[in-house]
Amino acid sequence: MIDIKLIRENREAVKENIKKKFQDEKLTLVDEIYEMDIKNREAQTTCDKLKADKNKKSSEIGKLMQEKKVEEANEIKNQISEMAEEIASLEETQETLNKEIKDRMMVIPNIMDPSVPIGEDDSKNVEIEKFGEPIVPAYEIPYHADIIERLKGMDKDAAGRTSGQGFYYLLGDIARLHEAMLSYARDFMIDKGFTYAIPPFMIRSDVVEGVMSFPEMEAMMYKIEGEDLYLIGTSEHSMIGKFKGQIVKEEDLPIAMTSYSPCFRKEGGSHGLEERGLYRVHQFEKQEMIVLCKEEEAMDWYNKMWSYTVEFFRSLDVPVRTLECCSGDLADLKVKSCDVEAWSPRQKKYFEVGSCSTLGDAQARRLGIRTKGKEGTYFVNTLNNTVVATPRGLIAVIENNYQEDGSIKIPEVLRPYMGGKSTIK
């Protein structure tokens, strides 16, 4: 949610940002908010004046009663009663206007960084840089589900019986490899100076609405029936929610944390689920990173964070590239975002394994996360980034370390987490 001062002082800039995101249907909201805000502030001014007059008149009653001027005192009492009614009416008007303004402000997109490329959808995202040589071996690399099943590492049929489509059992050394990646990701980020955390896996609706838009929530999240709780789609949500309503000490900034969690997503709509594979499923596990910092530090953290994901995957012998998200592909709360994509030697193309975003103070403004400095209290900036989400990350490691004899070479950094094993056969 942007600062309403932007609409008060520079409506056209807000509208231009909306146009660059190809959301022209929201343009009228800006003028509606502007007009409502004027009425709201006028009501506030009138209300404040009435309250001051009411207090002044109230102080006169005692004096008049002492002087036995009962008739005058009663007249003032009637005036005070009329003022109280008018104040109540104005406060009711303000309450209505505040709700109407907030409802509209919640769907106005955040102001993008000037460096964001302009484009209608993800087809206009821009490749930034490649890391590692994208090799296609001379031998055929089977579909990842076939590789894993030959190694007796997956059972989706049984998961279909227990849970339905979009779920899976991972077994044996494949399950160990999956967990080895997460354990290594944890230690990798701790070595970068991040504090490790395991957050709640369910959050309340007010936290959900603070960290994402309502359409995203409806498309992604599972609601616990009969309770105000949602299963998290990423630990970023509960990690940012940790600071809801708090005033963080400025000397404690930046706060850098890395969190593990299972994640649950509907994965409905056009993407759908993979019937056989593990690329798009209802549950997965993830190591995430989040940062709270001052506005002037945000872009430095953004660049550090995506570079950590690149470094992580390169240490697993996986070539990657970074892809800048264009304006039309950028979620409304985000200022700037890039994807990290892993090379698929089977498909001969890259696929997404992580996403890094800076959101300015949009989440902090929604959740009331502030800090107090020499120049007063202000909202912090928030950032998030995927270290690894797996089994999607598992697919990248399996394909890029698949050997001609059907075995999988275990990257050296993972071997200590695999009991010293160097190969899955």
Q: What domains lie within the chain, and their CATH numbers? A: 4-105 (1.10.287.40), 122-424 (3.30.930.10)
- Cα 124 from chain centroid (whole Å): 22
417 and 179 Cβ atoms separated by less than 8 Å: yes
- Report the predicted TM-score, pTM, of the whole model to 2 decimal places: 0.90
Task: Match 């484009």 to its residue by tokens.
Answer: 119
Answer whether 402's CB lies under 8 Å from 141's CB.
yes
- Which pLDDT belongs to residue 75? 79
pLDDT mean over 78-95: 90
The arithmetic mean of pLDDT across residues 241-254, rounded, is 96
For 236, the token pair is 């970023």
pLDDT surpasses 70 at 268: no
d(CA 212, CA 210): 6
Round to whole Å and give the CA distance between 187 and 258.
10
Residues 316 and 415 sit within 8 Å (Cβ to Cβ)? no
Three-state DSSP class for residue 196: strand
Nearest C-alpha neighbor of 233 from the set 258, 205, 208, 263: 263
107 CB-contact burial (10 Å; exposed 0-12 / middle 13-18 / buried 19+) = middle
CA separation for the pair 76, 279 (Å, rounded): 74
What local confidence, expressed as pLDDT, does residue 362 receive? Answer: 95
DSSP structural state of residue 310? H
CA distance 348 to 140: 12
Share of the chain above pLDDT 70, in %: 97
Instruction: State the pLDDT confidence band at 9, using cuts at 50, 70 and 90.
Output: very high
CB burial readout 274-288, b (16+ within 10 A) else e: beebbbebbbbbbbb
Inter-residue contact 356 to 300 (CB < 8 Å): no
Q: Is the pLDDT of residue 159 over 80?
A: yes
DSSP state string for 379-393:
EPEEEEEEEEEETHH
When comparing pLDDT for 375 and 333, which is higher? Answer: 333
pLDDT tens for each residue of 385-408:
999 999 999 999 999 999 999 999
Least-confidence region, from 65-79, 187-201, 253-267: 65-79
Q: Distance between CA 391 and CA 381 in Å, rounded?
A: 30
Rounded to the nearest 5 degrees, what angle is found at the Cα of 112, between the Cα atoms of 107 and 117?
120
Contact at 8 Å (CB) between 318 and 400?
yes
Quote the pLDDT of residue 64.
73
CB-based contact 249:242 (threshold 8 Å): no
**Least confident piece of the model among 57-71, 117-131, 184-198, 336-350:** 57-71
Cβ neighbors of 236 (< 8 A, separation 6 or more) are 211, 259, 288, 290, 384
Chain segment 26-42, per-residue pLDDT in tens: 999 999 999 999 999 99
Beta-carbon contacts of residue 367 (< 8 Å; ≥ 6 apart): 207, 210, 211, 240, 241, 243, 244, 245
Q: In whole angstroms, give the CA distance from residue 353 to residue 157.
A: 25
How much is the pLDDT for 273?
62
Average confidence (pLDDT) over 260-284: 80
Confidence of residue 270 (pLDDT cuts 50, 70, 90): very low
Read off the tokens for 374: 């020499």
CA distance 313 to 315: 5
